[in-house]
Amino acid sequence: MKTAALAGAALLLSTFAASAWEPTKSVEIVVPFGPGGASDQMARTMQAIIQKHGLSKESFIVVNKPAATGGEAMMDIKKSKGDPHKLITTSSTIYMTPLATKIPVSWQDFTPVGMVAQDEFGLWVAKDSPLKNVDDLKAAAKAANPPIKVGGGGSKREDELISFGVFTELGAPISYIPYKSGGEASTQLAGNHILVETNNPSEDVANWRAGLTRPLCVLSPKRIAYTAKVTADMSWNDVPTCGEQGLKFTYNMLRGLFMPGGVTPEQQAYYVDLIQKIVATPEWQEYLERNALLSDVRVGKDYVDFLNADEAKHKDLMAKAGFLPTN
């Protein structure tokens, strides 16, 4: 009886393994921004890990679709309903672009796969700036006439939303300058063309390491965890939070993945399992530290609950900032 039971269990497991879904052709990872940006880096890191560790029999291909502030990519995924061979990388743009432009798409049209990290934004100044903390920034912004120039990547996106939140709390007007990317904003800051910029670590770390810019504070509720030195005398963990300097406003940005809508639970489960394998690799941990990302893995209901709460937060802040269409 025992042998028969074991044989039955083995048959059941082999039947389950045979019926488990796997990709049957190359999988596209659609990135809603251009090559070289933070979303593109995440997708290509995942692609490299999948290939190196043999996590899929099929290849994964990164496809950049940056038009319409990510709207092109989102519409592509919406039109690909039922296609289990497509993924899209996710940031706050997943809510902000539809809310700001009224394009007929929502993250709820997609199938959630999982969240893998959060970007930890900061306020940055030029290396030789006299500003040492949030109080200095507040005083300079209030005294300036015309208003100080604050730079960021894009218009009506995360950087401008952060700028609105920070300087509304500080009670000071600003002139926001949108650039094509966070990297360009960092370059303009290094050249003293703007006084301050908002940026995630990955797009400013090169100029910080080169001695051209420096972080004033980070907008996360807690300090960034990484203690390895970035410059000769500072690590990410040495940078104070803006909250330590009296600023209540905080902002982190999700990084995750979706599939098109209309896929099967088995197809969704394949990719949920895949990302959990990816985030367990040493290469992923190196990627997190290199870009000073907060590790935050959420799948299933935990991911959906986060998305609902984060979308509501963004919608409220965008309404206050005047980013929502009036008709």
pLDDT at res. 64: 95
Indicate if 52 and 85 belong to the same structural domain. Answer: yes
69 and 137 in one domain? no
C-beta separation of 51 from 107 below 8 A:
no
Q: Do 243 and 265 lie in a common domain?
A: no
Within this chain, do residues 80 and 64 fall inside the same structural domain, yes or no? yes
For position 1, what pLDDT does the model report?
41
Does 5 reside within a domain?
no
Tens digit of pLDDT at every position of the chain (327 positions)? 433 344 444 433 433 444 599 999 999 999 998 888 889 999 999 999 999 999 999 999 999 998 888 899 999 999 999 999 999 999 999 999 999 999 999 999 999 999 999 999 999 999 999 999 999 999 999 999 999 999 999 889 999 999 999 999 999 999 999 998 888 999 999 999 999 999 999 889 999 999 999 999 999 999 999 999 999 999 999 999 999 999 999 999 999 999 999 999 999 999 999 999 999 999 999 999 999 999 999 999 999 999 999 999 999 999 999 999 987
**CATH code (residue 304):** 3.40.190.150
Q: Helix or strand or coil: residue 129? A: coil
What 3-state DSSP class applies to 235?
Answer: strand
Q: Are residues 141 and 217 in the same domain?
A: yes
Single out the residue in 250, 281, 306 at which a domain terminates. Answer: 250
Query: Are 128 and 241 in the same domain?
Result: yes
Whether residue 129 sits in one domain with residue 114: no
In a domain, 174, yes or no: yes
Same domain, 107 and 136: no
Look at the chain and report how many structural domains it folds into.
Answer: 2
Domain annotation covers residue 326? no
* 288 in any annotated domain: yes
Whether residue 311 sits in one domain with residue 246: no
Q: CA 136 → CA 33, 76, 129, 193, 216, distances in Å?
A: 34, 46, 10, 19, 10
pLDDT at position 229 is 97
Q: Which of 226, 250, 274 is the last residue of a domain?
A: 250
Report yes or no on 19 lying in a domain.
Answer: no
3-state SS assignment for residue 68? helix
DSSP H or E segment with residue 217: strand 213-218
Question: Domain containing 156 — which CATH number?
Answer: 3.40.190.10
Give residue 81's pLDDT.
98
Q: Answer yes or no: do 234 and 315 share one domain.
A: no
Q: Would 4 be classed as within a structural domain?
A: no
Distance CA 95, CA 103 (A): 11
Residue 310 lies in a domain: yes
Please report the pLDDT score of residue 205 as a whole number: 94
Q: In 86-181, which residue ranges form alpha helices assigned H by DSSP? A: 93-101, 134-143, 158-170
The torsion angles phi and psi of 31, rounded to 5 degrees, stand at -110, 120
Rg (CA), the chain: 22
From 211, 227, 250, give the residue that closes a domain: 250
Domain span at residue 144? 122-250
Residue 69 has what pLDDT?
A: 84
In this structure, are 275 and 304 located in the same domain? yes
- Position 38 scores a pLDDT of 85
Domain annotation covers residue 6: no
Query: 260 and 115, same structural domain?
Result: yes
Residue in this structure with the two tokens 């904003």, named with its chain if needed: 185
pLDDT of residue 287: 96
